[in-house]
C-alpha cells in the first residue's frame, strides 16, 4: 500500500469504528464452546458451521445453517448463553491501551447482542463507548452497512473519515459498503476480503501511535 493511501486511511481518520469479537475482545473460547454444542444438538458438522460464524448475527447464522429452525428463538438463546459465559474471555493485546489513549471519537459495531457485548467489555476491563451499535440496534446485520453507517452518524463523522477495524469478511464488506476505509486483522476470518482492506494488522496494538493521539476517549455509556 502507498504511503498516501496509508495516510488517508489511518493517520487521516477522524473517528474509529471497532468490531468487537476478534478485534478488541478474544472470545474465541466461548464462541467455539457454545456453537459446537449447538451444532452437535442439531446434527451439523462443525466444518460446516465454523466458516459462517465470523461477523454474523447469531440468528442469521442459524438461518443459513438450519433454515428449518426458528432462527430468532435459536439466536436469542445462543446470545443468552454467550452473555453468561465469561470463561476464557480476555482483551486482545493492545486493545485497552489503544482505546484509552485514542484521541478520536470511537465506537463499537458488533453482531452480538447488547447483553453479550457489555458483558465482554466489562470482564476485560474495556470501557463501554458512548456509541455501541449491537445486533439489537439494526434491522440488517453485516455485510449490510447499516451498523457502520449508524455508528458514524451518531459520532457525527462521515463514514469516509472513519477507520473501521475488522477481522471478518462480512464486516469488511459492510464497512466498504458504508464507504469507510478498513484496517483488517489478519486471519482466516477475513476470507476473500483480505485483499480489500486498506491496512493489514496483527491486532489493535499495531494501531497504537498510528491513529489518534494520547488523549481521553469518549465517555462511557453507563446505562448500556
List active site positions: 19, 21
Quote the Cα angle for 26-75-120, to 5°: 25
Cell, residue 222: 453507563
Q: Give the whole-angstrom CA distance, residue 208 versus residue 151.
A: 22
Alpha helices in 24-164 (DSSP H): 28-41, 46-49, 58-65, 71-84, 95-101, 114-124, 146-155
- Contact predicate 193/184, CB 8 Å: yes
Greatest extent of the chain over all pairs of C-alpha atoms, in Å? 51
Q: Give the whole-angstrom CA distance, residue 196 versus residue 182.
A: 8
Q: Return left, alpha or beta for 39; rule: phi > 0 is left, psi -120 to 50 is alpha, else beta.
A: alpha
Q: Give the whole-angstrom CA distance, residue 25 versus residue 118.
A: 11
Q: Give the whole-angstrom CA distance, residue 157 versus residue 3.
A: 23
Amino acid at each position: 500500500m502507498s504511503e498516501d493511501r496509508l495516510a488517508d486511511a489511518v493517520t487521516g481518520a477522524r473517528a474509529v469504528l471497532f468490531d468487537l469479537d476478534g478485534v478488541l475482545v478474544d472470545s474465541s473460547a466461548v464462541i467455539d464452546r457454545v456453537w459446537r454444542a449447538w451444532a452437535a444438538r442439531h446434527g451439523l458438522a462443525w466444518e460446516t458451521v465454523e466458516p459462517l460464524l465470523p461477523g454474523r448475527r447469531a440468528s442469521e447464522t442459524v438461518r443459513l445453517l438450519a433454515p428449518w429452525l426458528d432462527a430468532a428463538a435459536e439466536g436469542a438463546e445462543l446470545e443468552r448463553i454467550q452473555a453468561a459465559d465469561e470463561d476464557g474471555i480476555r482483551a486482545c493485546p493492545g486493545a485497552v491501551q489503544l482505546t484509552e489513549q485514542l484521541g478520536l471519537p470511537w465506537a463499537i459495531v458488533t453482531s452480538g447482542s447488547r447483553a453479550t457485548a457489555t458483558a465482554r467489555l466489562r470482564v476485560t476491563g474495556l470501557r463501554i463507548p458512548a456509541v455501541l451499535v449491537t445486533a439489537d440496534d439494526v434491522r440488517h446485520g453485516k455485510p449490510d452497512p447499516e451498523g457502520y453507517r449508524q455508528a458514524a452518524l451518531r459520532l457525527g463523522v462521515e463514514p469516509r473519515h472513519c477507520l473501521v477495524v475488522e477481522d471478518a469478511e462480512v464486516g469488511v464488506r459492510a464497512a466498504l459498503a458504508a464507504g469507510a476505509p478498513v484496517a483488517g486483522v489478519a486471519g482466516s476470518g477475513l476470507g476473500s476480503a483480505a485483499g480489500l482492506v486498506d491496512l493489514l494488522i496483527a491486532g489493535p496494538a499495531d494501531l497504537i501511535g498510528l491513529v489518534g493521539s494520547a488523549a481521553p476517549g469518549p465517555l462511557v455509556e453507563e446505562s448500556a
